[in-house]
């Protein structure tokens, strides 16, 4: 596992450097819109190419399930965008970039990587928080997670966890990792709720009801992306709710949006489940088909919040 960890850390660091360079020069024309209307940036594609190419070379037998593919970039109308990607990967051939992105078109297996090359694309476009999220899943369970959070902290933050070995963090420019842990529970402490910046990502009405149950103890902390998992694991927040939006009752979460964050929070001493208290099942393909919503907490509040959700449903 240590070999996989070192490869994952190294390639996420490299992708973070590229993402920082893109963000520093970002203009509105540097994105295209997918069919689901979510923006895709130069950095999404470049990040996936960097990470998937390295993992494919190091572990060719392990498939990679990524968020992006290169089909759009092969279309004539997107050649300007592809040229921008090439400008940030100057030593890469066009074929190497396209192939690198498409290495992420693998299918879930007994063991596989899952990658979100930029989780929180809209946060990235606002030049705020986003994460590079990479996880190794084995037998339906995340066993290794790496989060690169370039805008979290003064130097950016790199976090990782291996199942059964704890969670750790360092600056993106450092190898001096320190162990992290969720906030110790105290009865009268504030309860800090992590909320998405994007209003469409969750049922904010139900979230407000849950917060109201904690009265004046409830506080709000807003972050984009799996940075929320990082902040929870660091002990800087207590609850993250990803509640199903009533307008999309059949929506199921994508595995790459949660896998890395889940193992990091759990190894930091927290708990993660769906809204019914069931463990997240990563064995059902590219989505969490066997789960509804996500609840992540520092631990002691988990059962209480599951109960509150069921009472409010």
Tokens 């490869």 belong to which residue? 7
Banded pLDDT at 144 (limits 50, 70, 90): very high
Q: Reduce the DSSP state of residue 246 to 3 states and report it.
A: coil
Domains, the chain, in order of start with CATH, read: 2-180 (3.30.540.10), 191-312 (3.40.190.80)
- Check residue 49 and give its pLDDT: 98
What predicted TM-score, i.e. pTM, was given to this entire model?
0.94
- Check residue 37 and give its pLDDT: 57
- Check residue 200 and give its pLDDT: 54
**Catalytic choice (11, 41, 114, 121):** 121
Tokens 């070995």 belong to which residue? 165
- Return the half-sphere exposure (C-beta side, CA atoms, 13 A cut-off) of residue 49: 25
- Active-site residue, 297 included: no
Banded pLDDT at 215 (limits 50, 70, 90): confident
Q: Do residues 142 and 161 lie in contact, with contact meaning Cβ atoms separated by under 8 Å?
A: no
Q: Which of 150-159, 217-226, 290-299 has the lowest mean pLDDT?
A: 217-226
Banded pLDDT at 99 (limits 50, 70, 90): very high
Percent of the chain having pLDDT more than 70? 95
- Active-site residue, 178 included: no
- Check residue 289 and give its pLDDT: 96
**Catalytic choice (11, 30, 44, 114):** 44
Mean pLDDT value across the chain: 92
The residue ranking higher by pLDDT, 1 or 159, is: 159
């Amino acid at each position: 596992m240590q070999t996989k960890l070192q490869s994952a850390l190294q390639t996420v660091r490299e992708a973070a450097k590229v993402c920082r360079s893109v963000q520093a020069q970002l203009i509105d024309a540097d994105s295209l819109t997918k069919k689901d209307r979510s923006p895709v940036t130069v950095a999404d594609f470049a990040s996936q190419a960097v990470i998937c190419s390295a993992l494919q070379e190091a572990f060719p037998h392990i498939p990679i399930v990524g968020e992006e593919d290169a089909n759009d970039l092969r279309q004539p109308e997107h050649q300007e965008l592809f040229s921008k990607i090439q400008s940030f990967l100057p030593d890469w051939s066009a074929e190497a970039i396209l192939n690198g992105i498409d290495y992420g078109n693998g299918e879930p297996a007994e063991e596989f990587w899952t990658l979100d090359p930029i989780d929180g694309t809209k946060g990235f476009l606002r030049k705020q928080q986003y994460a590079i999220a990479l996880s190794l899943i084995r037998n339906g369970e995340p066993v290794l997670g790496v989060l690169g959070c370039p805008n979290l902290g003064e130097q950016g933050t790199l976090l990782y966890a291996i199942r059964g070995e704890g969670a750790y963090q360092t600056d993106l420019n450092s190898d001096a990792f320190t162990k992290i842990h969720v906030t110790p529970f105290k009865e009268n402490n504030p309860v800090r709720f992590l909320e998405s910046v994007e209003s469409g990502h969750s049922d904010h009405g139900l979230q407000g009801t849950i917060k109201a149950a904690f009265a004046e103890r409830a506080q709000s902390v807003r972050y984009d992306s799996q940075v929320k998992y990082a902040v929870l694991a660091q002990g800087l927040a207590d609850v993250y709710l990803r509640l199903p939006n009533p307008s999309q009752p059949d929506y199921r979460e994508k595995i790459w949006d949660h896998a890395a964050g889940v193992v990091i929070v759990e190894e930091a001493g927290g708990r993660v489940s769906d809204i019914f208290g069931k463990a997240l099942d990563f064995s059902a393909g590219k989505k969490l088909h066997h789960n509804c919503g996500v609840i992540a907490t520092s631990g002691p509040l988990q059962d209480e919040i599951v109960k509150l959700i069921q009472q409010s449903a």
